[in-house]
Amino acid sequence: MPSLSTPSQLSRSRGEEKGSAQHTALKRKKKMHRTKTDNSTQNIYDASQTIAQVKAYLDRGFAPIPVEYQQKAPNLKNWPNATLCQKDLPEHFGSPHNIGVVLGAKSNGLLDVDIDDADALKVAGYFLPATGMIFGRASRPRSHWLYRCPITKSKKFTSETSSVIVEMRGDGAQTVFPGSVHKSGELISFDTDSDPALVEYDQLVLACAQICIAKTLLGHWVQSTRHDLSMAVAGR
């Protein structure tokens, strides 16, 4: 005849099961915390490396400024007119910061063509003039094309819904440069790191307009309409 468990034995058994479940949950929680910690420490801030990168930008005639770490907002008062020199760098980049560069005349005619739209990014390389300085991040490579230009007026190209397709960033703007970390945790890094090409302003305006047209056409470029669409574009 099978033995029956006493109330105390049942209570003890339930307690053991509960304890085991709590232990498993605790292990799972620790594992999740460990994974999160590992991910968050992949990009450990190295002040000496950041300062060296900022100094390299100064040597190229750029105007670097400190930006909130993993953000885009400058945290320096009157940043459009800021002028840092080498002795200022430990104060501003000794703690975690991104590196911003003030564009336009402040950086000797530096202009950033910032490609915001995913479809525009697919076609930008067909229209933008070749340049030696291009950067982005893993999920948006080659999204910033840098040029030297005698005119550095900022200009946005928007869609019918007012979303930005591409932007020429110059006077009054700044861009977060390589040596920084995006809010997603992705590193901002160079695709090509040489001298920005010297181009005419109107050349870039035309290229950006062509990008916008190509991006719009791309949205309608499907098998049933692409022949008629290509004939219309060709003026036939």
Q: Give pLDDT, residue 218.
A: 83
- Beta-sheet strands, E only, within the chain: 63-68, 97-102, 110-115, 133-137, 140-148, 155-158, 164-169, 174-176, 180-181, 187-193, 197-198
The span from the CA of 100 to the CA of 159, in Å, is: 27
Counting DSSP H helices and E strands in the chain, the numbers are: 6, 11
**pTM, rounded to two decimals:** 0.78
- Weakly modelled stretches of the chain, pLDDT under 70: 1-42, 220-236
The full set of domain ranges for the chain reads: 47-218
Residue 224: its pLDDT value, please?
Answer: 53
Q: Which of 168, 117, 178 is nearest to 145 (CA)?
A: 168
86-135 residue pLDDT tens:
999 999 999 999 999 999 999 999 999 999 999 999 999 999 999 999 99
Task: Report the phi/psi class of residue 89: left, alpha or beta, with left for phi > 0 and alpha for psi in -120 to 50.
Answer: alpha
